[in-house]
Structures are given as C-alpha cells and as structure tokens.
Amino acid sequence: MREQRTARVLLGLMLVALPMPGRAQGISMGDAASAAKKGHVVYVDDGLAVKAGVEQVVELRFRVDEGFHVNSHTPKDELLIPTVLKVDEASGLHVMNESYPSGVSFRLPIGEGETLDVYQGEFRVMLRMVVPKGASTLNGTLHYQACDNAACFPPRNLAVHVAVTGK
C-alpha cells in the first residue's frame, strides 16, 4: 500500500516536470541558448515604392523558419501569444490599420494533439497607409513566439525597417 502511494507521488511529480507546449507558450521551454542565437522569423525586405499622398494597401512579408510556427494574430486560446505588428508613426508616414492573414490549423503531434491557429512558412501583414513624396523609413516591431513540434521559445521582438519611396 505504501509502495503504491509512493509510486503515485513520484508519477505525479514526473508529470508536473514535463513541458506542456500547447497551453503554456508564455513559459520558456526548449533550448534558450539556441533561441537567443536565432529568432526563427525574418522580415523579407523588398523595400516599397508607392504612390505618394494616396491611401493604399501595402504588404509586409515575413518568413518563419522551416519546422517552426508562430501563433496567428488571433490564436484559439487567450493564453497563447498572438503575432502582432506595431508600427511607429514617423517620417510623415501615416498607417491607418493593419490586416493579418488567417492562420492555418496545426495539430500538435504530442500530448492530447491540441489544434492551434498558426503561421508557417511565409505570411503577409497588410498595412493601409499614406506615404509622403520621397524616401522615408517605416519602422516597427513584430512581437511573436516561435515554437517547434515539442517546445516554445521565449517571446521575441523582431525590429522591422522598411525603405519606402513615395513617387
């Protein structure tokens, strides 16, 4: 009887120590040293040449490393960290709003197989904006959390700097 109780206590302690990547994405899991070296998301810089003084929609392209995903802008659970682009108002650029793509369903291959709403590969954030004539720079920050099939890395901020030419 005492041996069974001891075994249950040990099993409970082992289960508490196991990482739970589905819901606890705000908790640092995985290899922090490798996460610090690589953010797993990059901005694909094409630069923008647009018509000056006219409201228009432009797209900013981001790429998630193969084998990784980030939560969409509207994850399925309020405890998950959404991907959000914050744009700084500067240099005469006026951004009215951002529009995010729909995420894709991604089923975790571990645990209970929770289904997430994520971005994988390339995704695009659309900005409705007016730019001045000449050269300026759009500055912002993409806040996200990269995960692989087994672990999530600490949330990161990717600095975004886009050369914009208003013609």
pLDDT exceeds cutoff 90 at 117 = yes
Q: Which residues lie across from 70 on neighbouring strands?
A: 119, 146
What is the CATH code for 22-166? 2.60.40.1250
140-152 pLDDT per residue, tens: 999 999 999 888 8
The pair of structure tokens assigned to 22 is 């589905």
- Domain locations in the chain as residue ranges: 22-166
94-108 pLDDT per residue, tens: 999 999 999 999 988
pLDDT exceeds cutoff 60 at 56 = yes
Q: What letter represents residue 67's amino acid?
A: G
What pLDDT score was predicted for residue 91? 65
pLDDT exceeds cutoff 60 at 13 = no
Going edge to edge, which strands form the sheet with 56-64?
41-44, 56-64, 122-130, 94-99
What pLDDT score was predicted for residue 7? 37
pLDDT exceeds cutoff 70 at 109 = yes
Task: In whole angstroms, give the CA distance from residue 46 to residue 44.
Answer: 6
What pLDDT score was predicted for residue 35? 37
- Phi, psi of 4, rounded to the nearest 5 degrees: -65, -40
**Model confidence, pTM:** 0.74
119-147 pLDDT per residue, tens: 999 999 999 999 999 999 999 999 999 99
Contact 39, 143 (CB under 8 A): no
